[in-house]
Amino acid sequence: MKKTLNNYGIEPGCWSYTFDATTIDWWKDNKQTEISIDVGHYEEDGSNEVLIWFRSSPEQRHLAYQSTFNEDTIKRTFVHHDIGKDKFHAFELSFDDEYNVWETNDYEDSTNMLESILSLTKGLATPSKTPGDPASFKAPPGGEHWAKFAEILSINSIGENTEEINELLMEMANVEGFDFIVELQKDFNSSALSIASPPSKSMTALVKDLNDKYWNLIFNDFKIEQSSEDIELSDLDLNILQAYILDIPDDKLASKSGLSEKSIQAARETVFDTLDIESKTDLMDQLSFGDYINLVHTT
């Protein structure tokens, strides 16, 4: 399948192949994850760019990895961390000179925990602006703190690291954009996290809350833009799509826009009909291909 990746900042005219519905057994309970690969090629200097997407659930799809390469054959290991389940998973994808995925191997390896977090922070990078230039990785604010936090959480006996986690939360609270950590720190200190493993439900809730807010922080660095003249979307339509991705409640969006919740819901139904989408999965597919809408870095 040929696609132009200009919605990622790659110059128009390059090509890519997308391998969709490539699934592997992610967990032993047979839950599967879709892997989607876009490969772009610059004819000017022969360099290539690869973007790896994964969908860890029907409602979540993320750009997991992005890099340029010049080798005829590349081999990379991509690590996905599901912080909500406190599990780390890695899969290896190998590309031959035809950019075919010829090997996948899923495994769990605790030694890759730090690498997994760093790969995620690098994954949401600023794409190349000039053909052949390496993608300029822009780690989100506090990325190194997040990696350390995940490393601490990986230790089985959570209760033995209460003080260390608390100190790290204090550090993170001073990072620009991470002021929400202050509330998490209060929750942390008031919960039953001092109990030794297995982690308490409070820890699970804390990690999920942190993960959700962290991803929201990352996505706030991006905006949605219309990418096709065949349709017409208003600023409200684009804001509604952005809010839908970020799981912003209708009441909050209504208060910001000055519209009623019913008006927001009606507008969302209209834009969904316009884009022919029914779910967040469909919306993320549109962002991936950029047929109608693009996800654009704002900084």
Nearest Cα to 113, choosing from 64, 58, 154?
154
Report whether pLDDT(45) > 70.
no
- Local structure of residue 52 (DSSP, 8 states): E
Q: What is the pLDDT of residue 183?
A: 53
Is the CATH number of domain 222-297 3.90.180.10?
Answer: no
Mean pLDDT, rounded, of the chain: 50
Give the helix ranges, DSSP H, for 77-180. Answer: 113-123, 143-153, 162-173
Report whether pLDDT(237) > 60.
yes
Percent of the chain with pLDDT over 70: 19
How far is it, in rounded angstroms, from Cα 143 to Cα 265? Answer: 35
Rounded to an integer, the average pLDDT of 2-21 is 31
Q: Which residues partner with 105 through β-bridges?
A: 92
How far is it, in rounded angstroms, from Cα 12 to Cα 200? Answer: 51
pLDDT in tens, 139-192: 333 444 444 444 444 443 344 455 665 566 566 556 554 554 555 555 545 443
Per domain, the residue ranges of the chain are 6-123, 143-219, 222-297
- Specify the 3-state DSSP secondary structure of 297: strand
Which H or E run contains 49?
strand 48-57
Using an 8 Å Cβ cutoff, are 156 and 197 in contact? yes
Q: Which two tokens stand for residue 107?
A: 């495994």
Using an 8 Å Cβ cutoff, are 153 and 183 in contact? no
pLDDT in tens, 64-110: 444 444 433 333 333 333 333 333 333 333 443 333 333 333 333 32
pLDDT in tens, 240-255: 887 786 667 787 778 7
**The overall pTM is greater than 0.75:** no
How far is it, in rounded angstroms, from Cα 68 to Cα 260? Answer: 46
